[in-house]
Chain A
Amino acid sequence: MPDTSAATGDAMGRRGFLARAAGLLAAAGGTVAAAVYGAAVGYPIYRFLMTPARRAEALGAVKQISFPVTDLPPVNTAKMFTFGAVPAVLIHLPDGSFSCFNAVCTHLGCTVQFEPAQARIHCACHGGVYDMKTGANVSGPPPKPLTLGRRRFTGGWTKDWASRNGSPSPRRNKCRNMPILSGIIGAAYRFSFFSCRP
């Protein structure tokens, strides 16, 4: 009887190789198809769920807000407002000047408040205290000062609030000065903020 095992083995080997190659090809094709389907299904869902966040980001692109002089808070009081999507505080200081800050505590993101009796800005969540004029972190857990607003008075003169108070230049702090846009009726105070890059 002739020995055919080598030939059969060879044929089986080739067949086995082809079967394995076809299997691998099918697995690769399946993986690609699954990825394509995953992306086709996942992308609209991602965009659907992200819409409000995207809208809020677009709101955050508001660079400047204006108050008619008549809307300014009385001396030694503060006015809370939203600057884009974030809360902000405008303080009419006892000496008649103004300070304006992003009201988000630099510790864990609570909204801070002006406390006229203590002449300070206070965060009720963890007791952080900031200077009401400069926004510097004075005591408690906040690691950084509040982001300072820059004041302009329309109708004659413009003053850079940050530099008048001797605060560090936002550019030196790698902060980005948001461009200016605003519609103003009559005399108004306009405030623009610096947002720090993470």
Chain B
Amino acid sequence: MQAVSGVLLLVYFRPGPEAYDSVRQITYDIDFGWLIRSVHSWSANLMVFAVFVHMFSVFFMKAYRKPREFGWWSGLALLGLTMVFGFSGYLLPMDELAFFATKVGLEIPASIPVLGPALVNLIRGGLEVNEFTVQRFFALHVVVLPAFFIGALGFHLWLVQRHGNAVPPSEDRKPPAERHSVPFFPHFVIKDLAMWLIALNVMAILAALFPWGLGPQADPIQPAPLGIHPEWYFMSQFQALKVLGHWFPGMAGEALGIALFTIGGALWGLIPLYDTTTAKGRRARAATWFGLIALAGLAALTVWGYLDKAA
């Protein structure tokens, strides 16, 4: 879906100084351009959502345990790539919101000691977000990221083929003869097709009834509009930094936030190494609690972020 709608948008999108005008043309001038763009945006959001759901289901089903550690890590790489896809794609319309979201988003890597500022200037193509940023985010979005994504996805799927689908812990305890299973064809294929159609319909309804808008053109001289915020999948980090910044004024809040995310992310990523199969083959409750707390924390911060914005 993303590839097809993305290629269609490529037909009219012009990166660089004309980015905003070309997106305005796609949205308001080209027949069904609003729909294609809306499909691309909605589908991107649903993709991020689906990746998160998949990650948490893998986490709670303990499907990262040996021999599936690399499945977990390649999955995390795919999540990271998906989020960079989202971040880079968000700038491309070059409207006000896109401009400030990118500006703020890039401040986070900029706070990495020593390397940060140079790294961000390299990514940004200047000292401010400008047409060169759009141009290089575009190259990243349509060439570099897809190339990495295809490789990572291929590896991920190859691992699934190699190790087979993970069995939930409750099924794993039963002898193989008693396990519940369905044949791949036609049962699984039909279920998969049905799910795919449901997803297509949901996406079509969202795209048609809630078309993605386009804000005013980005103007670096204008102040940031009130209530500015990133996409929902970056909202928890955004809110955490905002809150910590209030609690610990100055750079301490930001440094603490980034440190917390780094440690949390590392613990999350390395879980296959410390939550290994127990002698009795039971679930490790500590890891499950960690997952629940992480999920609740992300959800609470996201909701808090939106409530804060509305207030």
Query: B31, A50: Cβ atoms under 8 Å?
Result: yes
Query: A49, B11: Cβ atoms under 8 Å?
Result: yes
Complex-state Cα separation, A55 to B14, whole angstroms:
19
Q: Does B261 contact A (CB under 8 A)?
A: no
Complex-state Cα separation, A45 to B37, whole angstroms:
11
Query: A45, B30: Cβ atoms under 8 Å?
Result: no
Complex-state Cα separation, A128 to B36, whole angstroms:
45
Chain A, range 17-50, C-beta contacts under 8 Å to B:
37, 40, 44-45, 47-50
Complex-state Cα separation, A126 to B31, whole angstroms:
38
Complex-state Cα separation, A51 to B35, whole angstroms:
14
What are the residues of chain B within 8 A of A176 when measuring CB–CB? none
What are the residues of chain A within 8 A of B29 when measuring CB–CB? 51
In the complex formed, the residue of A with least CB distance to B197 is A37
What are the residues of chain A within 8 A of B36 when measuring CB–CB? 44-45, 48
Q: Which residues of A approach B to under 8 Å, CB–CB?
A: 37, 40, 44-45, 47-51, 54
Q: Does B263 contact A (CB under 8 A)?
A: no
In the complex formed, the residue of B with least CB distance to A40 is B204
Q: Does B8 contact A (CB under 8 A)?
A: yes
Q: Does B32 contact A (CB under 8 A)?
A: yes
What are the residues of chain A within 8 A of B8 when measuring CB–CB? 45, 48-49
Chain B, range 1-24, C-beta contacts under 8 Å to A:
8, 11
Complex-state Cα separation, A49 to B32, whole angstroms:
9
What are the residues of chain B within 8 A of A37 when measuring CB–CB? 200
18 residue pairs bridging A and B, Cβ less than 8 Å apart: A37-B200, A40-B204, A44-B32, A44-B35, A45-B8, A45-B32, A47-B31, A47-B32, A48-B8, A48-B11, A48-B31, A48-B33, A49-B11, A50-B31, A51-B29, A51-B31, A51-B33, A54-B31
Binding site secondary structure of chain B: helix
Chain B, range 30-54, C-beta contacts under 8 Å to A:
30-33, 35-36
Known: A45-B32, A51-B30. 14 other contacts (CB 8 A): A37-B200, A40-B204, A44-B35, A44-B36, A45-B8, A45-B36, A47-B32, A48-B11, A48-B31, A48-B32, A49-B8, A50-B31, A51-B31, A54-B31
Complex-state Cα separation, A40 to B30, whole angstroms:
18
Chain A to chain B: the 8 pairs with minimum beta-carbon distance, closest first: A44-B32, A47-B31, A51-B30, A48-B32, A51-B31, A47-B32, A44-B35, A48-B36
What are the residues of chain B within 8 A of A44 when measuring CB–CB? 31-32, 35-36
In the complex formed, the residue of B with least CB distance to A44 is B32
What are the residues of chain B within 8 A of A45 when measuring CB–CB? 8, 32, 36
What are the residues of chain B within 8 A of A49 when measuring CB–CB? 8, 11
Q: B223 to nearest A CB, angstroms?
A: 36
What are the residues of chain B within 8 A of A48 when measuring CB–CB? 8, 11, 30-33, 35-36
Complex-state Cα separation, A183 to B200, whole angstroms:
51
What are the residues of chain A within 8 A of B200 when measuring CB–CB? 37
Q: B162 to nearest A CB, angstroms?
A: 32
What are the residues of chain B within 8 A of A50 when measuring CB–CB? 31
Complex-state Cα separation, A33 to B136, whole angstroms:
41
Residue of B32, B36, B200 with highest tally of chain A CB at under 10 A: B32
What are the residues of chain A within 8 A of B33 when measuring CB–CB? 48, 51
What are the residues of chain A within 8 A of B204 when measuring CB–CB? 40
Complex-state Cα separation, A45 to B36, whole angstroms:
8
Complex-state Cα separation, A37 to B204, whole angstroms:
11
In the complex formed, the residue of B with least CB distance to A52 is B30
Complex-state Cα separation, A17 to B33, whole angstroms:
49
What are the residues of chain B within 8 A of A51 when measuring CB–CB? 29-31, 33
Complex-state Cα separation, A37 to B36, whole angstroms:
16
Q: A29 to nearest B CB, angstroms?
A: 13
One digit per residue, 1 when the CB lies within 8 angstroms of any chain A CB and 0 when it does not, for chain B 71-103 equals: 000000000000000000000000000000000
What are the residues of chain B within 8 A of A40 when measuring CB–CB? 204
In the complex formed, the residue of B with least CB distance to A43 is B32
In the complex formed, the residue of B with least CB distance to A49 is B11
Complex-state Cα separation, A153 to B162, whole angstroms:
81
Chain B, range 238-255, C-beta contacts under 8 Å to A:
none
In the complex formed, the residue of B with least CB distance to A50 is B31
Q: B200 to nearest A CB, angstroms?
A: 8
Q: B148 to nearest A CB, angstroms?
A: 27
Q: B81 to nearest A CB, angstroms?
A: 26
What are the residues of chain A within 8 A of B32 when measuring CB–CB? 44-45, 47-48
Residue of A44, A47, A48, A54 with highest tally of chain B CB at under 10 A: A48
Complex-state Cα separation, A45 to B29, whole angstroms:
14
Complex-state Cα separation, A118 to B63, whole angstroms:
82
Complex-state Cα separation, A49 to B8, whole angstroms:
8
Complex-state Cα separation, A48 to B39, whole angstroms:
13
Complex-state Cα separation, A45 to B11, whole angstroms:
11
